[in-house]
Amino acid sequence: MRKNIVAGNWKMNNDLAQTESLLTDLKKQTQTSIAEVMIAPAFTNLYPAFQALKSTNIEVIAQNMHFAENGAYTGEVSGSMLKSVGIETVILGHSERREYFNETDEILAKKVDAALAKGMRVVFCFGEVLEDRKSNNQEKIVENQIKNALFHLGPAAFQNIILAYEPVWAIGTGETASPEQAQDMHAFIRKTLATKYGADIAEEVSILYGGSVKPANAEEIFSKPDVDGGLIGGASLNADDFFAIVNAF
């Protein structure tokens, strides 16, 4: 059975003091759902967050990593470095990385390989921009993003891959994909996986939706059969809101 997962992407928010305060608030929350819960603080706060949450059910994950093991890559962080501070899961391919840091499908394929080689799990993000949606090209775009970065992998790799469909037009805009739009795309993603890897593997992969998920809309989005959880930006910065979403299953 595939898992329900709610992951909070803090992006470039929260200094150390703010991180500690949010971690304290998160530890006070009660989880009533069976979802796996993850949070992704900035690199500088990964280790304190890992230490603070290691006795809880909340996994601390990274927002990005480099594909190289080490070397002359000023400003970058490797999978080994993440693992050395307790991090076992990494978000890759977020649209902000693609847009502002020129991450291409080719780079992302290398990052995915590097993370999997380290035994890490990957939350792999993709999604179309508004023009693609307006021209009804969203399926082609998403299919290519998945194929280009993931379809060189063998079937076993998908045990460590979580997919996150994030339509770019819905990220941080307050405009959510309708539950039906999310379901249609998630079903398409699963069909795309099934065509290459077979139905059994496609059924096992968790597919998260991301883009303006809030306490008010989470339950309806999560009720869709192919939506297995959410990647939450803005609403993950408040512990009550985040846990309202965690408990929306």
Q: What is the C-alpha to C-alpha distance for residues 125 and 95, in angstroms, rounded to an integer?
A: 7
Judge whether 99 counts as a catalytic residue. no
Residue 37 engages ligand PGA in binding (rule: CB under 6 A): no
Q: Which is nearer to ligand PGA, 112 or 202 (CB)?
A: 112
Binding footprint of ligand PGA, residue count (CB under 6 A): 13
Interactions with ligand PGA, residue window 169-198 (CB under 6 A): 171-172
**217 and 176 Cβ atoms separated by less than 8 Å:** yes
Q: What is the C-alpha to C-alpha distance for residues 96 and 140, in angstroms, rounded to an integer?
A: 20
Residue 154 C-beta: closest distance to ligand PGA, Å: 28
Judge whether 66 counts as a catalytic residue. no
CA distances from 28 to 16, 21, 240 (A): 19, 11, 9
Q: What is the C-alpha to C-alpha distance for residues 224 and 36, in angstroms, rounded to an integer?
A: 18
**Listed residue (44, 52, 58, 47) closest to 13, CA to CA:** 44
Residue 124 C-beta: closest distance to ligand PGA, Å: 12
**155 and 197 Cβ atoms separated by less than 8 Å:** yes
Residue 103 engages ligand PGA in binding (rule: CB under 6 A): no
Residue 213 engages ligand PGA in binding (rule: CB under 6 A): yes
**114 and 68 Cβ atoms separated by less than 8 Å:** yes
Q: Would you give the binding string for ligand PGA spanning residues 216-235, x where CB under 6 A is met? A: ---------------xxxxx
Return the residue of 41, 167, 210, 229 that touches ligand PGA, per CB under 6 A.
210
Residue 41 engages ligand PGA in binding (rule: CB under 6 A): no
Residues forming the active site: 94, 166
Contact footprint for ligand PGA (CB under 6 A): 9, 166, 171-172, 210-213, 231-235
